[in-house]
Amino acid sequence: MEISIIGLGGIGSVLSNTISRFLNLNESLKPVTIKLVDGDDYEYKNISRQEFFNYGNKANVKKRELSNRFQNIDYLDFQMFLDENNISEIVTENSIVFVSVDNHKTRRLVSNYAKKLNNVIVISGGNELTDGNIQIFIRKGGENVTPSLTDYHPEIENPLDKSPDEMSCEELSHAEPQLYFTNFMVAGHMCSAFYNIIERNNYKISEVYFDILSMNSNSKTRVPKNIRG
């Protein structure tokens, strides 16, 4: 099984630990390779909501950390932001791609690239301060089984934000406040989606929303629009 985790911030740094623990002793899914993708550094300012043992490039630090803890999994670190030049190395046929980035432009890039593949599973998550959502885009045999990330989300199809490789240092250093619990909830729902698909063959759900103030979660089943790769 080949897995990519794109973005190792508040969501991805937690998700990578949890997915690794689940897969490390799972005999039926061996061999497992996990690609860790992030061009950003783990710094002191991230300490309140990101899970790393050392400072440095997030993909590299996380690779070293997880390789020591989960020795049945092969880890590859991609110390770069995802872009059109490197996406073919990261989003591949028959892989499972977790998108835990902080911008819609990268979500669109992954979604559009996945539409060109025959078999791929994309699980994307994002949040605001106290609520968030995950989206599940499944392609099987060249068909969309669930809607793409852009199908019902014009804000992803026509993003107003920038991808990290387009941002200045000043823009990168400026971050809206986030809550660790909300990141944690997104990561948890992404893991639930993974488990439902891999272990339960449940392909029905295409999106899940949650709100930690009302403590509600709500799953959605939507019909994919006719977009073919």
**Would you tell me which residues interact with other proteins (CB under 8 A)?**
7, 9-12, 100-104, 107, 124-128, 131-133, 135, 149, 152-156, 161, 176, 178, 183, 186, 209-211, 214, 216-218, 220-223, 225
> How far, CA to CA in Å, does 44 sit from each of 47, 54, 55, 113, 141?
5, 10, 8, 34, 45
> How far apart are alpha carbons 110 and 103 in whole angstroms?
12
Instruction: Find how far residue 77's CA is from the centre of its chain.
Output: 15
Amino acid at 121: I
63 or 107, CB closer to other proteins? 107
CB 96 → other proteins: shortest distance, Å?
A: 17
First to last CA, the chain: 23
CB 202 → other proteins: shortest distance, Å?
A: 16
125 or 188, CB closer to other proteins? 125
Residues pairing with 126 in the sheet: 133
As a residue count, the chain comes to 229
67 or 217, CB closer to other proteins? 217
24 or 167, CB closer to other proteins? 167
Number of Cβ atoms within 10 Å of the Cβ of 193: 25
89 or 161, CB closer to other proteins? 161
> How far apart are alpha carbons 103 and 111 in whole angstroms?
13
CB 141 → other proteins: shortest distance, Å?
A: 21
CB 2 → other proteins: shortest distance, Å?
A: 21
Burial (0-12, 13-18, 19+ Cβ within 10 Å), 228: exposed
Tokens standing for residue 3: 């897995």
DSSP 151: T
CB 43 → other proteins: shortest distance, Å?
A: 16
97 or 186, CB closer to other proteins? 186
CB 10 → other proteins: shortest distance, Å?
A: 6
